Structure 1
Amino acid sequence: MTSISATEQNDEEYSFVYGDEAVTYGVVRKSVVEGKKRKIAIKVHPSCEVVVNAPDDAERSEVHEAIMKRAKWICEALQEFRTQQAYVQSKHYVSGEVQFYLGRRYVLKVVEDEAAVPMVKMQRGKLLVTLKRFDERKGGYTKVMVRQWYHLRAERVFHERLAALLPKATWVKGIPSFRVLPMSKQWGSCSAKGSLMLNPHLIKAPKECIDYVILHELCHIAEYNHSERFWRLLSSVMPQWQDVKSRLDGMAELYLNE
């Protein structure tokens, strides 16, 4: 399962002060596998949640020291995500709003034409929506048409990317079934039987991000849980997956905004 937001269960919660800002962070304790390097990892999520993954035997002072060493980076990351959130406003589906498709921005343009068939198409950097007439339901109609357009595009592009990526997933036998389903917490998921579900909002992201989610779910066919073996398998087919994931996480609120 590829999640949209943080899902770690925090065991402890603390805070630190950097400059004029007090920052709260959660600590998730992890048992250390014998032979593996003992480390403290810090994540800042797009939701502005700060999570520290620490060995279960790490002292609180050790965790705090690791936090303070990266305090400047944490606050800068928080500021960046807050700036992004400030620009995320509910859409009204009127001309001038921004829509995304395969990582590119398109300006929405809604036009009235009584003689035309209602439709959505891309035209010279715009997402053009044609309605027969304008009335008080214009925004609602436009939203439904744009949502359907995204869904159809997602089905087509996801099918193409799945076919292109299957040769990498040598452990997969045959062609997995998949369906496009809106999800609020996940980009994708894989059932115990190997069927994939992909979020239509993912079509707004660059192809590399789509490939990451599909490969992530294909890896679950071989390893259902997020084990060490799972991450090794994912790294073997997409060595740069962490950078791609960060890119997708950083744009999640904009892509999900309706």
Structure 2
Amino acid sequence: MTDIKVTPHEQGAFYYGDEILHYHIQRRATDDERKVVIKVHPDERITVMAPKSASKEEVKAAILKRVRWIWESLLEFRQQQEFISPRQYAGGETYFYLGKRYRLKLIQQEETVPSVKLKRGRLEVCYSGEYNAELIKKWVMHWYEHRAYILYHQRLAELLPKTDWVTGLPNLKIMPMTRQWGSCSTSGRIMLNPHLVKAPKDCIDYVILHELCHIAEHNHSDRFWRLLTKVMPDWKANKAKLDEMAELYLNE
């Protein structure tokens, strides 16, 4: 499962100035890696990947050593959040597709069938009748889902030869999600978020390979991460790129 939000096993908190900051602890399956890894997310969550045997006191001590960096990261994300406003589905807004930005252009024409297409660096919506933001949203989202369906199947077919543990073509479903980029059921069915099509191709490949690895390893064990590293050595960079833009890609 490629989560946007992580479900914690343990929780902790600390003060910085007058503010109390909460963090979630995830445990590695083994103690092969002793380093405590701290991640500050765009939605201001703080997650900590810690060795299985590390005490809560040891984890907190590692956090406090980086408390200034954590606080500065939170401030940076808060400043970015100020520029993210709800979509109005009006001309001139910026929309993403495969990591590139496109300006929305609305074209009102009499007796025309509603259509959405990329043209000359713009996302053009042609329609007849009066402007209706809800209808514009519906057409744009349908376009994203259609493009996602085509692209995800293409990328899945391209990536499958890397995954010799997968037999046959996995069932792929497109499903809007608010907290996940993708998921994999125990039966091997893969679900992908249509909003992921807004990200660069390398990020899409990362999520697909992540879910394909779950067919062999149904958790985030060290074996899982080794398998993912084998098929995509630079997955960390692609994940970081996706995490950085998550709030913008998910802004409807």
- Counterpart of 1:70 in structure 2 is 66
- Distance in 2, Cα, partners of 1:234 & 1:31: 16
**Structure 2 residue aligned with 1:114:** 110
Partner of 1:14: 13
Instruction: Report which stretch shifted further, 247-256 or 145-154.
Output: 247-256
**2:221 paired residue among 209, 219, 227:** 227
Which whole-Å CA distance do the structure 2 matches of 1:178 and 1:55 have between them?
Answer: 34
Q: 1:12 to 1:116 in 2, by over 3 A?
A: closer
| Deviations 1:234-253, CA, capped at 9 Å, x for gaps | 01001111121111111111
Aligned to 2:207: 213
- Say whether 1:149 aligns with 2:146: no
Contact map agreement 1:100 1:205 (CA 8 A) in 2: yes
User: What is the root-mean-square deviation in Å for CA atoms of aligned residues?
Assistant: 2.0
Q: C-alpha displacement at 1:14, in angstroms?
A: 2.0
> 1:26 Cα deviation (Å)?
2.1
Q: Which amino acid aligns with 2:36?
A: I
Secondary structure of the residue aligned to 1:193 is coil
Rounded to whole Å, the distance in 1 between the matches of 2:48 and 2:35 is: 10
Q: Secondary structure in 2 aligned to 1:129?
A: strand
**What is the CA distance between 1:58 and its match in structure 2?**
4.1
Q: Is the 8 A contact 1:114 1:133 kept in 2?
A: yes
TM-score (norm 2): 0.92
For residues 147 and 28 of structure 2, the distance between their equivalents in structure 1, rounded to whole angstroms, comes to 43
Partner amino acid for 1:161?
R
Deviation string 1:97-146 (CA, Å, 9 cap, x unpaired) is: 111100111111112110433211111111110111224xx111100100
Q: What letter is aligned with 1:91?
A: R
- Asked if 1:161 corresponds to 2:155, the answer is yes
Name the aligned partner's letter for residue 105 of structure 1: R
- Identify unmatched segments of 5+ residues in structure 1: none
Alpha-carbon distance in 1 for matches of 2:73, 2:108: 43
Equivalent positions of 1:235-246 (< 5 A) are 235-246=229-240
Query: Per-residue deviation at 1:68?
Result: 3.1
Match of 1:183 in 2: 177
2:130 corresponds in structure 1 to: 134
Equivalent of 2:88 in 82, 86, 92: 92
Give 1:163 deviation, angstroms.
Answer: 0.9
* AA at the equivalent of 2:169: I
Residue in 2 aligned with 1:3? Answer: 3
Moved more, 76-85 or 125-134: 76-85
User: What is aligned with 2:25?
Assistant: 28
The normalised TM-score by structure 1 is 0.90
Q: Distance in 2 between matches of 1:188 and 1:256?
A: 13
Secondary structure in 2 aligned to 1:167?
helix
Distance 1:63 1:229, change over 3 A: closer
1:214-246 Cα distance to aligned partner (Å, 9 max, x none): 001111111112222111100100111112111
In the alignment, structure 1 residue 43 sits paired with structure 2 residue 39: yes
Query: What SS class does the counterpart of residue 162 from structure 2 fall into?
Result: coil
Q: 1:147 to 1:27 in 2, by over 3 A?
A: closer
SS where residue 63 of structure 2 aligns?
helix
Give 3-state SS (helix, strand or coil) of 1:233's partner: helix
Aligned residues: 252
